[in-house]
């Protein structure tokens, strides 16, 4: 089933409070979200039948909608329950999950508050965002021509669908050039993030990561920071200029889809995935799979 288009798969999707056959989970072409990007979503993973930091994801989804000036008609607890029901209904234990909320099709225009708000939740088997070979060797990035906008020009704290348009353009351009992903700078020319993951650099016993002041502060990012600090590793959040990348020994990306993925190259800057990358990969794996770790 993995090779089938997403709209042709079998299974069940939670749609506005009901379990709907996968192929029947549809929206109209005049849906407001399709025309004006009034949509927010989450990307989260289940390990051993449990979604990692599920409630935190559900709360962020609600807050993302609030930032876009609409209210999801379900509480975080109700969204949690729906996510768990989707896993059970589809017989999934290790899976990727995508809750998505959007404005509907009552009216079409820039004024959007008369449109109903919908929520759907789907889950499917999806391995790591990058192949095992890429992760072990470290993926290759190139710096994108697109930049993360200023914080007063986009609702950057929301996981809003529209903010990913330049990420799609950046990733496609990078893959066209033979790279695995792209590094995006921000409006000031500072290092920001990859197209769907946050970034960390390591040298002299310290982890350095950009301040998330114009891009999303990822849940995985915060998890890795906590794991590093628990090990006594100093974590420095600061502005990082591109030319500083040549000073670092190791580099890795973090995200619910990417998990912890080492980086070997960002254009002319090279890194050697080593002990810190391996340690963070293993520590994160133990954190998200506590039952499996306890059994080992």
Q: For the segment 60-71, what is each residue's pLDDT rounded down to a tens digit?
A: 999 999 999 999
Binned at pLDDT 50, 70 and 90, residue 135 comes out as: confident
Q: Which amino acids are annotated catalytic?
A: 159
Distance, in Å, from the CA atom of 118 to the CA atom of 101, rounded to the nearest integer, reads 5
- Report the DSSP beta bridge partners of residue 255: 259
The single residue listed with the structure tokens 């949509």 is 39
- Report the DSSP beta bridge partners of residue 200: 252
Quote the mean pLDDT of the chain.
Answer: 94
Structure tokens at 207: 């982890």
What are the pLDDT digits (tens) for 227-260?
999 999 999 999 999 999 999 999 999 999 899 9
The maximal CA–CA distance of the chain, rounded, in angstroms, is 57
Contact (CB, 8 A) for 211 and 225:
no
What are the pLDDT digits (tens) for 140-188?
999 999 999 999 999 999 999 999 999 999 999 999 999 999 999 999 9
Phi, psi of 53 (to 5 degrees): 50, 45
Contacts of 281 (CB under 8 A, 6+ apart): 135, 252, 259, 260, 262
Binned at pLDDT 50, 70 and 90, residue 83 comes out as: very high
State the Rg of the chain over Cα.
19
Distance, in Å, from the CA atom of 44 to the CA atom of 126, rounded to the nearest integer, reads 11
Domains in the chain: ranges and CATH? 6-124 (3.30.470.10), 132-291 (3.20.10.10)
Distance, in Å, from the CA atom of 13 to the CA atom of 121, rounded to the nearest integer, reads 6
Tell the burial category of 34 from Cβ atoms under 10 Å away from its Cβ (0-12, 13-18, 19+): middle
pLDDT score, position 1: 57
Of the candidates 227, 234, 174, 190, the residue with the CA atom closest to the CA atom of residue 208: 234
Contact (CB, 8 A) for 226 and 232:
no
18, HSE (Cβ side, Cα atoms, 13 Å): 5
pLDDT score, position 131: 60
Q: Residue 293: pLDDT above 60?
A: no
Q: Residue 9: pLDDT above 80?
A: yes
pLDDT score, position 296: 44
List C-alpha distances in Å: 156 to 35, 151, 160, 197. 20, 6, 8, 14
Structure tokens at 182: 């792209």
Distance, in Å, from the CA atom of 42 to the CA atom of 212, rounded to the nearest integer, reads 18
CA 261 to chain CA mean position, Å: 13
């Amino acid at each position: 089933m993995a090779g089938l288009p997403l709209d042709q798969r079998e299974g069940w999707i939670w749609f506005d409070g009901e379990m709907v056959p996968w192929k029947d989970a549809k929206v109209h072409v005049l849906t407001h979200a399709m025309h004006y990007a009034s949509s927010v979503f989450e990307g989260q993973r289940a390990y051993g039948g449990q979604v990692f930091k599920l409630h935190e994801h559900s709360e962020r989804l609600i807050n993302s909608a609030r930032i876009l000036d609409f209210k999801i008609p379900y509480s975080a607890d109700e969204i949690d329950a729906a996510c768990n029901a989707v896993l059970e209904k589809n017989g999934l234990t290790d899976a990727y999950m995508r809750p998505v909320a959007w404005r509907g099709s009552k009216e079409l225009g820039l004024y959007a508050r008369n449109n109903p708000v919908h929520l759907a939740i789907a889950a499917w088997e999806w391995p790591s965002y990058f192949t095992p070979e890429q992760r072990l060797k470290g993926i290759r990035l190139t710096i994108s021509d697109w930049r993360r906008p200023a914080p007063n020009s986009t609702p950057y704290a929301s996981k809003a669908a529209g903010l990913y348009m330049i990420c799609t353009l950046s990733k496609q351009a990078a893959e066209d050039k033979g790279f695995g992903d792209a590094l995006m700078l921000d409006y000031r020319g500072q290092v920001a993030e990859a197209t769907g993951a946050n970034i960390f650099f390591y040298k002299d016993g310290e982890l350095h990561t950009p301040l998330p002041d114009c891009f999303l502060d990822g849940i995985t990012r915060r998890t890795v920071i906590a794991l590093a600090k628990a090990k006594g590793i100093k974590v420095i959040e600061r502005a990082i200029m591109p030319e500083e990348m040549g000073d670092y020994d190791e580099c890795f990306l973090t995200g619910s889809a990417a998990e912890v993925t080492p980086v070997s190259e960002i254009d002319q800057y090279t890194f050697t995935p080593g002990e810190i990358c391996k340690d963070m990969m293993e520590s994160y794996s133990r954190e998200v799979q506590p039952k499996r770790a306890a059994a080992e």
